[in-house]
Structure formats: C-alpha cells, structure tokens
Structure 1
C-alpha cells in the first residue's frame, strides 16, 4: 500500500469516526465533551498530523476482548494498539448498567490515549443474532414484511443502541440465500429487489437514530451450509446476487462488511 493510499484510507476513517461522535450526538461524559470543545473540533487532517505512526495504524483495527469489566490488561491493550473500535460479543454483555459502564470506561481510555472516540460495535440483527439480549427490539429480519416496518425496526433498535453508547451496528444481513444455508434464519428471506428495499429502509431508520450501519456479507454466502468463520470455504462457480447491495447503498450505509 502506497503512503498516499494509506493516508486516504486513514483520513476517511477518522472523518467517519469524528462525525459519529460530533454529529450523531452519542452519549458521553461531560469531560469528554469539554475535551472536544477545547480542540476546537479540529479537522481530520490536523488530528492525523498529531498521531504517531503506531496510533495511525491502530485506528484501522477493530478489536475484541474477553470479559465484562475493564481490566488492567484490557486498558493496556487499548493503549498499546490504539484501536479505532471494539467489537462487543455476548461474552462482554451482562446487563444495561454493566454494559453502559464498560462502554464509558472504554471511551475514556481511548480519549486519554489519542483524543479520539472508539467505534463501539455490535451484531444486533434481531433474533436469532442479537448480542444484547435485554433489548426490546429483536424482530427477526425474516418477519419484516414492508418498508414501513423495516424503518421502524431500524429506528427503535438504533435508539436502544444509542442509549447504551453503541454507535455502529453490523446489520442488516443482505445475503440472498436458500433454506439450508447457514445464514437463512438471519436473512430477509426475500428476492434481491425486496431485500434491497427492506434493507434501505432499515438503514434509514438506524441513521435517523444516529447509528452507523455496516451492511453484510458482501458479495454473499449463497450456497454455504456452514459457518465460513470456522470451516474452509469451497470454491463455487455461482455468481452471487448483488442487486440488493446496490439498492441498499441508496441509503448511504457507512460501511460494507464481507
């Protein structure tokens, strides 16, 4: 990767990160707001100049961790890697009070380290893939029937996530798959056109709630009956459907996930 390409990727990443914190009004501590105001909302180029090489590289990483509380090991990990975000799984989540406290502590450490907020990331697709079990909005994608319902699901889910301090949701799932495929129960179970319309509305709902979206899994896992994260994928000659991704892009999701 050339220096110019690296800088472009990093500046784009920082712009999204800063925008998520300022424009999306994610709940933060008072001292965090004061720190940002004192920086006079410096543009991403200025922030980039003040980062060390290690901090610049670290911003491109999303990390996970064990446990439900902040430990000295986790604090040292963040201060060593300088990640752009953290991915929360069920192993990190117990209840609302615990999760809110953990997120605030993680953000505090990041600000102390480099003056930047973290992406706080979850897979909150609705059942059966809802990392945060205590939230009210867990409608399965397969039960979403029209764009009005899709928008409401995205908005309600987004509000609940925002109130916890989460700012990026790895959802919805746009794969066009058949019964028997491992992602079937997590999909809209519609054709590409209908899937794209529902996804576009759901993304708009999340955006209205000030939550960023990563649509997935581009270009798709059609014909895969097992979890590709655990088993080597076969080589398939079938060309996956991508029309639904093109349609969903009309709502300007912030990220696309493979």
Structure 2
C-alpha cells in the first residue's frame, strides 16, 4: 500500500447518487477511502442498496466500512420497507436493556442484509439540558447510568449481528443549546461535573469494549480552552486514549459542519484531527473538499508535519478493526433481503416499544 492509499484509509466519505456508476467506482478506486457513509441521496429500495454496496466493495482495493446514521426516531436514514423504529428516548423510557439489545439486533440485521456494516450509534450523550435543540429525543435519558446501560446494550445488540457500533458524541453533547452543524457549542462545566455526567457513559462503554467512538465539535474550556474536542490533543490523546484507556477507532464528526469549518478548512482540520489522536475523518459531501483534504494530509506527511508512523498507527487500527469485524463484506441475496427487511418480527418489536412507552 502506498502512502497515498494509506492516507485514503483515514477517511469516511459521502458521495452523490444511489447507483454504482463508473464515475463512483473510479472515485472509490482513486481515493481509496476506509469507508463510505450513506444518506437519503444514496438510498433506493433494499435491493438497490445491496447492489450499490456490493459493487463498491468489489471496486474498492480494501474492504469498506459502509456507515449510516440509523439511531431510530428522527435520525433514521432508511425509509420503508425498512422497519421504522422509535427514538432512543422512547426506548430508554421503557427501562429494559433487554429490549434495547433486541431493537439494536433487529436494526443490525436489516443493515447487514443490504451490506451496511457500521452504524453511527448509540448516542451516549446525557440529556441534561431539555432545551438542547439537537439531542432531544436522541438520548436514552438524563441520567448518566441509564444512558450507559442502554448505550452498551445497543452496542452489543449491533455487534451480535456483525455491525460496528460508533458511540457518539464524545466527550458529550447533552448540555448544549447550539447546533454544532451551525456553530461551535461551548460546554462550560468543570472537570468534576464532566467526569460525573458527560464522560461517564463513554467511560463505561470503553470498559465494555465498544469498537469506535465519534468526536463532537464542542469547546470544553475546563479540558482545553483553545481547541474544539475534535482537534484537541488534550481531549483525544491525553483524556480519551491515556486516561480512559480507549484503544479502538476514533472517528470525527463531519469536518464540513460549521462548528469546525467556520474556523478551519477541512484539510487543515484533518491534519489537526490526526495530530490530536484521531483515526478516521468524516467528510460527508463535496468531492473537491474531500480531494483537497487528502492532498493536504499527504503534504503534511511529506513535509514532516505528520510522521508516517503516526499515519500508519491509525491505518493499523483501521485494518485491525476491518479484520475483526468485517467477516461478511457483501450484501445478501434478494430472497434473504425480503425475508429480513421490515419483517413481521421486527414490526412487532417496534410496535412493542411504542406500547410499552405508552404504559400499556
């Protein structure tokens, strides 16, 4: 693998279209990304999704992470006939981690059958601010222990069917009033409060073995008064790697979100993220920005700003994760897809969440 190909592995990229065009296959072969992320613009019917993931897996020089945001509730990318799941807040309100595990397992079965092997979930944020415009409905609750218990159950449910869980948004987005898609939120709490509330679910999930965490574009002055968490060595290396002992994949939130992009070009943000201790950078659209970011990271290695050893350390974590988790890379047959997606068992499970949440 060349240095350019190794650097490509550090990116999860979004793209346009829902069919495996020759241009899209060339994009994958040329940029050699570690993964691709799917949004509504990429999602046809289940058979079309399977054809897309299969074709791009074949085109890619290395196995691909295929990622999606399938939390349930308002953050659900897959439309019917995929099962419609209630939100994390509704699932958490039932109070059964067994149910949370079952829901995640069912979500994972529907993902895997169409070739999607990574879910940007569970949300491990603690909803301590009910006025939070982004996280309301997406959190398992306002108690750190409850969030940890359900988050771990969700991660294990995904893992039981072969899907990689990505816990988010480290170090905790639950007490914010600003959407990091639009600006940089500030979390003003002291270290004691952060440890007891915001960080606690992540610490428990790390001990439970969660394979990946996503960073938040947040400023936490008590931890680093200058740099957002995504670009902070104090937070990603000193705190996450060393103090909390996390050895698995660290994935950025989208580097085009304004919480980062208003102050830092995506190429520079990518370099700073790697310097801080991150592994996989998410750039969800804009092929020009994606290509430029890859060039900027390559130049940073060539000029000595980033060491080749640092890049290869992340490449090894990525390769190890793929070897451990991507046992079945390809989507299933049409018959199996139709037997799984939106099946009666999943529909009944989804309905049971709604009934329990209503107290019936």
Could you say which TM-score interval applies, normalised by the shorter chain?
0.7 to 0.9
1:198 aligns with 2:150: yes
SS at match of 2:149: helix
1:221 aligns with 2:167: no
User: Would you say the 8 A contact 1:139–1:153 is kept in 2?
Assistant: no
Among 75, 97, 104, the alignment partner of 2:25 is 75
Aligned to 1:102: 52
Change in 2 beyond 3 A, CA 1:81/1:234: same
Q: How many residues are matched?
A: 203
CA distance in 2: counterparts of 1:142 and 1:59, whole angstroms: 34
What do residues 134-153 of structure 1 show as CA deviations (whole Å, max 9, x unaligned)?
22152311112211111101
Change in 2 beyond 3 A, CA 1:226/1:67: farther
TM-score by length of 1: 0.75
- Return the offset for 1:170: 0.5
Aligned to 2:78: 132
User: Would you say the 8 A contact 1:70–1:105 is kept in 2?
Assistant: yes
- Return the offset for 1:71: 2.1
What do residues 9-30 of structure 1 show as CA deviations (whole Å, max 9, x unaligned)?
xxxxxxxxxxxxxxxxxxxxxx
Aligned to 2:130: 179
- Return the offset for 1:250: 3.3
TM-score by length of 2: 0.54
Change in 2 beyond 3 A, CA 1:137/1:209: farther
Unaligned stretches of 5+ in structure 2?
Answer: 216-360
User: Would you say the 8 A contact 1:203–1:251 is kept in 2?
Assistant: no
Aligned to 2:68: 122
SS at match of 2:105: helix
- Return the offset for 1:61: 0.8
1:243 aligns with 2:200: yes
Find runs of 4+ consecutive structure 1 residues off by over 3 angstroms: none
- Return the offset for 1:75: 1.8
Aligned to 2:183: 232
CA distance in 2: counterparts of 1:155 and 1:206, whole angstroms: 5
Higher relative contact order (CA 8 A, sep 6+): 2
CA distance in 2: counterparts of 1:72 and 1:147, whole angstroms: 44
Aligned to 1:166: 116
Among 5, 8, 11, the alignment partner of 1:61 is 11
